[in-house]
Structure formats: C-alpha cells, structure tokens
Amino acid sequence: MRASVVLENGRVSYREQGQGEVIVLLHGFCCSSESWEKVIPLLSSRYRVLAPDLRGHGQSAFPGGKVCSMDEMAEDLRQLLDSLEIEKVSLFGHSMGGYVSLAFADKYAHRLRHLALIHSTGLADTEQGKESRLDSIKTIEEQGLDVFLEGFVSKFFAPGNPEAVEVLKQRALSIGKQTSPLAAAGCLRGMRERPDRNSVLSGVKLPVLLLAGDQDRIIPKERTFSVAADHIQQAEIQGCGHSSMVEAADELTGVMIDFLSAGAPEQ
Ligand code: MLT
C-alpha cells in the first residue's frame, strides 16, 4: 500500500506492507521506496515494512534549501514515525539512507531495535570524495539531472550479464528521474558535509549489521567494514555491486531475516 502524510516540511510518501514488528527501509541517493520493490514482499510476510521516499525523492516533496542534510532527513523519519504512532523500529539504510540512519541513531538510538548499513559507511567523505561531489553538483546544475544519472547509475551494479545489468539500469534510471534536481544537488552537499559517525556504530547498544557487495564501485567494502565491535556483524554478498536489493534480493533478505532473528541485547 502507498500512503502519505504531511509533516512539518511537506508531504512524505511511503510504502507500507505486512504486520508485526516494524522494519524501516531507507533508500539511497536518487533512489526511492521503489528501489526496495523486490525485498518488501519477501519481508512483509513476517514484519510490518515501512519504506519512505526521502524528501525530494520518489513522490515526497522537497521543501527547498541549498543543503539537504542527513540530520534533516533523519528528523523527517522521526516525524513520520511519530505521526504513525510507532515507537521502535529496526532500521536498514542503503548508502545515503545509511547516512540518514546513522544521523537518526545518533539522536534516537532508544527508538531502534536493530541498525543496519547496506552498501554504506560510517566514515565521512574523503577529500577526493568531497571534490567529486562538487563535480556532480556542477553536472546537475549545468547539464541536468538526467545526464548525471546516466553516469551514476552505470556504477550501481556488478558487471555480470550485460543484458541483465541493462534491465536493472533502465529501472534505476526511471526511479532516479523522479528525484527533484534541487534535492539531488542539496543531498550531494549534505553528504559532503556529513560527519564521521563510526563512533555511533561502535557506541550503540544494539545489534548492528554492515553489509557490502564485493564488487561495489561506489562504496568499496573496506569503507563499509571500517569499524568492528562485538555487537557489529559483517556480511558480504559475492558478485554484487552497490544494489543488493535488486541484484541479490533473496540473498539480502536472507541476511536481514537472520540478523533480525538474532534478538536485541537488554538495555
Ligand atoms: C548512494 O548511493 O546513496 C550514494 O551514492 C552514496 C554516496 O554517494 O556516498
């Protein structure tokens, strides 16, 4: 089911399916709740799955502003949960959605049962990464979002079978084109400014999952696995790029269910 609510910064659209404990799936940059379309039906037989469109993405409004920070999007999530009267969730963030999840955990860890980063990292951008954000903003502002997306989406998937990759790429492009260009540029600035939050991952008293694809060309697995502790579990999907939710949905869902079944420590 798709629904929407009006929060302080405009309308937030989300997909919801299933019953039981709440799992929140946060998509990545220039993606949307549709990016989880293969995973939602697999999880919703056991859980109540909530997948919002982040501001300016998919069908959610963009309130404007030059910078779209990870903290603002975490605040949108807090307001969405409050409006649905949901107190505690297990939070899975893909890539930029992982950065938003970390911002949420930094402030609202008491509202989490589990925290998972999917093809994401607790590290801040490197200096080179910050430079390349500026190039991406320039491309979007001078040549348009579609030109930027062509290059961006081509790095999403492990090379594998070219025909299969082309199908995934076309779907990712059609989802990406729903993003507001202003939001895309704002999110690039927001990601560029985000702090290192590996201390959040090591400090939370929750089960944490870090999942990487061995062929991820956007966030290499070394950056995903850049923090270790007893409560942090690592998982690697072989032959997978930056988007296991579409490249390896069954395998990803299996890892998620095992992780969720492991139970949270007493707090
Ligand atoms: C994403 O896929 O959400 C972004 O590419 C993450 C990033 O650029 O750091």
Q: How far, in Å, CA of 209 to CA of 225, rounded?
A: 10
pTM, rounded to two decimals:
0.96
Nearest CA to ligand 1 atom 5: 29
Polymer length in residues for the chain: 267
How would you label 107-133 residue by residue, b for 16+ Cβ within 10 Å and e otherwise? ebeebbbbbbbbbbbbbbbeeeeeeeb
Query: What residue ranges of the chain have pLDDT lower than 70?
Result: 263-267
Ligand 1: centre distance to CA 11 (Å)? 23
pLDDT for 160 equals 84
Query: 95 CB less than 6 Å from ligand 1?
Result: yes
pLDDT for 267 equals 42
Cα atoms in the 13 Å half-sphere on the side-chain side of 15 = 21
pLDDT for 243 equals 96
Closest ligand 1 atom to residue 156 Cα is 2
pLDDT for 70 equals 98
